[in-house]
Structure 1
Amino acid sequence: MINVIWLGMIVIGFVFAAVNGRMDAFTAAVFDGAKNGVTVSFGLISVLVFWLGVMKIAEDAGLLRTIARLLGPIVSFLFPDVPKGHPAIGYILSNMSANLLGLGNAATPMGIKAMQELQTLNPDKDTATPAMCTLLALNTASITLIPATLIAIRLNYGSSDPADIVGTTLAATFVATLAAIFADRLCRRMHLLRRPPGPPAESSSPARGGSASPHYQVKG
């Protein structure tokens, strides 16, 4: 779907430029955008390498394990259908830790691995489980303590105070995370209410003196 959206935007821009005789401006904008993309990417490398190095030091020092222990009860609450000790839990904790530091590029691989592990618990491989939806919501609206990537972009474009957005980013992501958790709990409750009842439990044969399950009425 994203590819279709981008293709549609490019085609619409091309058509409007051709109709209005602005193909020169369209071509210049395309190449300027490509140039800016490369420039910004190179500008991000140093900041991302720095914070990834900080994360590695924090991991070796045991800080990430401490964060994981602190987040453990929260993860158990948010993902009640994931068994304790499952590999997905570790990847979810790594994803949340990276998002807290504003390292979206580092959080993405951990999120993908967590989704792959959650898929092993999925009885219907073509439909996302509630745990998958929860992870997607949290990854999108995660609380960010240090928006490292945004700070790098602002620094690259000559901002006088690149770190000025720390407070507002923390407030915005905090509210977004609360909204995501509320929406996730609401959708889970609605999912449970819409879930059809399971098949009746097998009753024991009358000849053997067994009785039917107390939750279902066995007919015939």
Structure 2
Amino acid sequence: MLNVIWLGLIVISIVVAAVTGRMEAINAAAFEGAKTGVTVCLGLLSVLAFWMGMMRIAEKSGLLELLARVLSPIIQVLFPDVPKGHPAMGYILSNMSANLLGLGNAATPMGLKAMEELQKLNPDKQNASPAMCTLLAINTASITIIPTTMIAIRMQYGSVNPVEIVGTTLLSSFAATIVALLIDRMYRYRHIRRHR
């Protein structure tokens, strides 16, 4: 549906530009948008490569394993219906670690693998399990210590202090995660009561 909306907006803008005689403005905007997109992508690529390298160093040094051990009791509380030692737990921990460092693009594959593993545990294959809903809530809100992608975008656009958003990002993402978990627990409790 979203593709239809975007297509409609593009067609309407081309028709309006043709009727008003401003086709050159459409061409200029299209080329400027493409140029900006490539520039931002290249800037993000360098920052993501840097942080992916840092994640690799953290993994080799055992820092991610330590983080996983620290987060493991919290994960067990958040996902009580996932057996301890199940592969989904490792993917969930990797997803959360990447999100903590603001690496949304790096977190996505781990989140997808975690969902695949959680689907194997799901007795109702047509509906999301409570664990899947919890993962989605955590992944969407996600506490972010270092908003890597936003820092890269701010650097690309010439921000004087691109890292000044770290404090507010940490505070807002923490609040969002707490609210997401509270809503998740509320619906989980209602789901359990309904199926008793």
- The answer (yes or no) to whether the contact 1:14–1:23 under 8 Å persists in 2 is no
RMSD across aligned positions (CA): 1.4
Shift of 1:28: 2.8
- State the match for 1:171 in structure 2: 171
Moved more, 18-27 or 160-169: 18-27
C-alpha distance after superposition, 1:37-67 (max 9, x if no partner): 1111111111111111111111111111111
- State the match for 1:60 in structure 2: 60
Shift of 1:178: 0.3
Identity of paired residues, percent?
A: 62
Measure the CA separation in 1 of the matches of 2:77 and 2:188.
Answer: 13
Secondary structure, aligned partner of 1:144: coil
Highest CA radius of gyration, 1 or 2? 1
> Which runs of 5 or more structure 2 residues have no equivalent in the other structure?
none
In the TM superposition, structure 1's runs of 4+ consecutive aligned residues that sit over 6 Å from their partners are none
Q: TM-score, normalised by structure 2?
A: 0.93
- State the match for 2:12 in structure 1: 15
- State the match for 1:183 in structure 2: 183
Equivalent pairs counted in the alignment come to 193
Shift of 1:26: 3.1
- The answer (yes or no) to whether the contact 1:100–1:145 under 8 Å persists in 2 is yes
Secondary structure, aligned partner of 2:160: coil
Measure the CA separation in 1 of the matches of 2:133 and 2:23.
Answer: 43
Secondary structure, aligned partner of 2:121: coil
Secondary structure, aligned partner of 2:81: coil
Q: TM-score, normalised by structure 1?
A: 0.83
Shift of 1:154: 0.6
Measure the CA separation in 1 of the matches of 2:99 and 2:53.
Answer: 15
Shift of 1:15: 1.2
**More helix by proportion, 1 or 2?**
2
